[in-house]
C-alpha cells in the first residue's frame, strides 16, 4: 500500500539551538521509502544517524536565532504482515528473546511495577494471548476518555489509570504498562497515520507475541494498516518527533498521511506487524 506522508514544522528560534528530529519513516522489510524530500530553511547542514537498538532514523541540526522551517515529505510503500490473531500466544519468560527483556522493565511513563496488582485484578484471569492484549485495549477505550489538552508531558500511566483522561500517547503508555505487568514485552511506536482526524503524529504500542512485535491502538482512531512507522522506544521519552536544546517555539505544524491506493486501509481484526526487530 502506498502513502504520501510528511510534515511541515515552523519554529521561532530565539537563541542558537540544537534540534534532533525523528520524522522520517524507518526503512525495513515492511516499509520502503520510494522517494523522500527534506527541505530545511535556512539551508543548514544536517547530520543523519540511526540508534541501532531503537531502529529509528534521526537528524540533528544546529540552528542560529531566527526562523527554522522543516519540510519533510516521503512516498512510502508499506507491506505490513497480517496474521490470524488467534494463533498468537504469549511467550513465557523462559523463552523470550533476550533483546525483548528490557521492554518488561518499568520506564518513565509506564510504571508497570506499580500497576501489577491492578493488572492481575483486571486481566489476570483472562486467557493469555493476543486476545488478552485486545482486552487491555478495550479496557482503555472504555475506561479512559480521549480528551485533547487533558494531559501534559509529565503525565504517566500511573496518573492515567486513575485520572482516566488522555490522548494517544497516554493510551499507549497505559497499554504498555498493563502488558509489562503481565510479562508481555511492550513498547511505544510513533507514526504517521492515515485517516487520523485531526491529522497529527500518532502514538500506538507494540506487544511481543509469538515471534514478533504486533501493533495495538487503544484509541481506535485510525486503522492500524494505515500506520507508517517512524520510531520506537520504551515510551514517549524515546520517540519524540523533535528534541530541542536551546530556545525555540513551535509556531506551526502540519502533518499528513494520504493513501495513494484506490483501496485505503480499513479497520481489521487481523494482527498486524511492520517490523522484524
Binding mask 154-193 for a second copy (x = CB under 8 A): x---x--xxxxx-----------------x----------
Select the residue interacting with a second copy from 82, 143, 251, 276 (CB under 8 A): 143
Q: Does 65 contact a second copy by CB under 8 A?
A: no
Stretch that binds a second copy, among 72-80, 209-217, 231-239, 263-271 (CB under 8 A): 231-239
Instruction: With beta carbons less than 8 A apart as the criterion, state whether 235 and 153 touch.
Output: no
Say which residues have a Cβ less than 8 Å from residue 228's Cβ, sequence separation at least 6: 3, 5, 25, 31, 76, 78, 191, 192, 193, 194, 257
Contact region with a second copy (CB under 8 A), list: 95-103, 129-137, 213-221, 255-263: 95-103
The answer to whether residue 105 forms part of the interface with a second copy (CB under 8 A) is yes
Binding mask 123-142 for a second copy (x = CB under 8 A): --------------------
Q: 49: burial class by Cβ within 10 Å (0-12, 13-18, 19+)?
A: exposed
115 is a contact residue toward a second copy (CB under 8 A): yes
CB of 2 to a second copy, least distance (A): 31
Site for a second copy in 29-58 (CB under 8 A): 49-54, 58
Q: How far is CA 110 from CA 33, 123, 184, 227, in A?
A: 32, 17, 13, 22
Quote the strand ranges of the chain, DSSP E: 2-21, 31-41, 46-51, 56-63, 66-78, 81-83, 145-146, 165-166, 186-193, 202-209, 212-216, 227-233, 242-259, 271-273
User: Are 240 and 21 spatial neighbours (Cβ–Cβ below 8 Å)?
Assistant: no
Q: Residues 123, 136: contact at Cβ < 8 Å?
A: yes
Which of these, 185, 189, 159, 156, lies nearest to 173 by C-alpha position? 156
Q: Which of 14, 34, 245, 270 binds a second copy (CB under 8 A)?
A: 245
To a second copy, the closest distance from the beta carbon of 242 in angstroms equals 13
Number of other residues whose CB lies within 10 A of the CB of residue 110: 32
- Of 240 and 253, which has the nearer Cβ to a second copy? 240
User: Quick one: how far is CA 156 from the chain centroid?
Assistant: 15
**Number of chain residues interacting with a second copy (CB under 8 A):** 46
Interaction between residue 22 and a second copy (CB under 8 A): no
**Residue linked to cell 505544524:** 253
Half-sphere exposure of 260 (CA within 13 A, CB side): 11
Which of 106, 223 has the CB closer to a second copy? 106
How near is the Cβ of 40 to a second copy at its closest, in Å? Answer: 15
Q: What is the smallest separation between the CB atom of 1 and a second copy, expressed in angstroms?
A: 31
228 DSSP 8-state letter: E
Q: Please give the residue ranges that form the binding site for a second copy (CB under 8 A).
A: 18, 20, 49-54, 58, 60, 62, 92-94, 98-99, 101-102, 105-108, 111, 113-115, 117-118, 121, 143, 145, 153-154, 158, 161-165, 183, 233-234, 237-238, 243, 245
Amino acid at each position: 500500500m502506498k502513502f504520501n506522508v510528511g510534515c511541515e514544522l515552523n519554529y521561532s528560534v530565539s537563541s542558537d539551538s540544537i534540534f534532533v528530529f525523528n520524522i522520517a519513516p524507518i526503512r525495513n522489510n515492511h516499509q520502503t521509502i520510494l522517494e523522500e524530500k527534506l527541505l530545511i530553511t535556512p539551508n543548514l547542514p544536517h547530520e543523519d544517524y540511526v540508534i541501532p537498538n531503537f531502529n529509528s532514523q534521526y537528524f540533528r541540526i544546529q540552528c542560529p536565532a531566527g526562523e527554522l522551517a522543516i519540510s519533510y515529505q516521503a512516498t512510502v510503500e508499506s507491506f505490513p504482515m497480517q496474521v490470524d490473531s488467534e494463533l498468537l500466544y504469549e511467550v513465557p519468560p523462559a523463552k523470550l528473546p533476550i533483546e525483548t527483556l528490557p521492554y518488561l522493565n518499568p520506564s518513565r511513563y509506564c510504571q508497570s511495577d506499580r500497576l501489577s496488582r491492578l493488572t492481575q485484578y483486571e486481566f489476570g484471569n483472562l486467557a493469555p494471548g493476543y486476545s488478552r492484549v485486545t482486552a487491555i485495549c478495550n479496557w482503555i477505550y472504555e475506561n479512559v476518555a480521549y480528551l485533547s489538552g487533558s494531559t501534559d508531558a509529565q503525565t504517566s500511566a500511573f496518573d492515567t489509570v486513575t485520572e482516566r483522561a488522555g490522548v494517544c500517547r497516554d493510551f499507549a503508555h497505559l497499554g504498555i504498562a498493563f502488558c509489562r505487568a503481565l510479562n508481555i514485552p511492550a513498547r511505544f511506536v510513533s507514526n504517521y497515520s492515515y485517516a487520523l482526524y485531526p491529522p497529527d503524529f500518532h502514538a500506538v504500542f507494540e506487544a511481543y507475541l509469538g515471534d514478533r512485535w504486533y501493533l495495538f491502538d487503544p484509541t481506535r482512531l485510525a486503522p492500524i494498516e494505515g500506520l507508517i512507522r517512524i520510531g520506537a522506544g520504551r515510551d514517549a521519552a524515546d520517540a519524540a518527533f523533535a528534541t530541542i536544546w536551546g530556545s525555540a517555539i513551535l509556531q506551526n505544524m502540519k502533518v499528513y498521511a494520504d493513501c495513494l491506493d484506490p483501496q485505503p486501509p480499513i479497520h481489521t481484526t487481523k494482527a498486524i506487524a511492520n517490523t522484524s526487530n
